[in-house]
Amino acid sequence: MSLNVVILAAGQGKRMRSDTPKVLHPLAGRPLLDHVLGAAQVLEPDSICVVYGHGGEAVRDALAAQAGPSVSWVKQEPQLGTGHAVMQAAPHLRDGASTLVLYGDVPLTRVETLQRLIAAAGDGLGVLTVTLADASGYGRIVRDARGQVQRIVEQKDASEAEREIREVNTGIMVIPTAKLKGWLGRLSNNNAQGEYYLTDIVAVAVEEGLPIATAQPEAEWETLGVNSRAQLAELERIHQREVALRLLEDGVTLADPARIDVRGSLMAGRDCSIDVNCVFEGEVTLGDKVSIGPNCVLRNVRIASGTRVEAFCHMEDAEVGANCRIGPYARLRPAAVLAEDVHIGNFVEVKKSDIGVGSKANHLAYIGDTTIGRNVNVGAGTITCNYDGVNKHRTIIEDDVFIGSDTQLVAPVRVGRGATLGAGTTLTKDAPPDQLTLSRAKQISVTGWQRPVKGGKKG
């Protein structure tokens, strides 16, 4: 079935009390509009048209590049209602297809729900409805005695009897495009809001005898929109709850499903465990039996099987091998690559470095722009001095090296295989393999030296 998609994203969102356009506010780390675009693209339509307004070019500029050239962007100015918004998109819609109308501030509608609506509509008109215990504020679905949809009436225009109806319009519709273009010209703004309602085409379709189908989502929250920060926070927790449930169903142990945030994608193997207050951003992959301690933040990270990450670790754009031990309080920065059985301990920072099998940096170290071989021990307080104030330089540490505590390696420098660096060494030249290298000031003791004492108080 040929399909056009129109996404209405022009709303101002006054209740957000923000200079940021409403559809650019993030949910699970992505703009609201990006969620809707993503669902639309899964449907593989012939065209997608985004109608933007409030915030002007900021909306288009924020998402146009990642949305791709197949998405058209049309500005609605002034903003005179949903019908008027679709009028702006009409020139971009193919007549031989149906048009699916979505909303940039309704981010959680499942693709399966949209597919069910499209299938129910066929060549006719389809409306996604939902039955609410409290329908206040929503347009009501008015049916005849046979249960056929007759029209949609907005809350402000509804009679007392119509306000008792609990089946409401979500705004999401599928419409034959050729019919849609003709009906748009017949819309009137003679209503309480002075706007052109897209929902008025339902009554026109009934007059012409076009069949009107309805479908409902599996969950009410699929149709919830965002008009305030409170509603945004509510949808965030709904989304995170659904993510947590999927992880649990996949065999992941969550210490508390209410205290995890996934702001991207999280793929976890068998028997993984995640403690409380962890945040996963971008694309994160955990191998089998990976354990993540509390209060960790992982962004674009791959961790192989059997690795344990202790509390309060931060990782970004890093890759960790199997059976490693990380933290607590460790930081892996971009381009940190750890092989198997590596130990990175408390208050150790690794950036743009490769660390070989079985190597350890257990305490208070900075490793930057460094290649470390196998079975290397990096002592506490060790620093690779990689930056000369202008350029970065690389440090090479070969296999089986022992680096004593409080050592500074001033790059570019190489430490040969099997070398030992004595504690307190400042290394400015290459250290030969299998030798002890150290640099220290001579230790002296001063006879007769007296420790200063505080002077008496002056009167």
**Is the omega angle on the peptide bond into residue 26 within 30 degrees of 0, that is, cis?**
no
Dihedral pair phi/psi, residue 103, rounded to 5° = -130, 130
Contacts 24+ apart (CB under 8 A), 331-338: 332/301
Q: Which residues of 241-276 are buried (b: 16+ CB within 10 A; e: fewer)?
A: eebbeebeeeebebeebebbbbbbebebbeebbbbe
The catalytic residue among 25, 54, 84, 363 is: 363
**Contact, 369 vs 389, CB < 8 A?**
no
Identify whether 92 is a catalytic site residue.
Answer: no
CA distance 386 to 296: 27
> Rounded to whole angstroms, what are the CA distances from 344 to 142, 339, 352, 379?
65, 11, 14, 11
**Contact, 222 vs 229, CB < 8 A?**
no
- Residue in 415, 414, 425, 340 with CA at minimum distance from that of residue 379: 425
Class of residue 65 by CB neighbours under 10 A (exposed 0-12, middle 13-18, buried 19+): exposed
Residues paired with residue 368 on neighbouring β-strands, in sequence order: 351
Which residues does the annotation mark as catalytic? Answer: 363
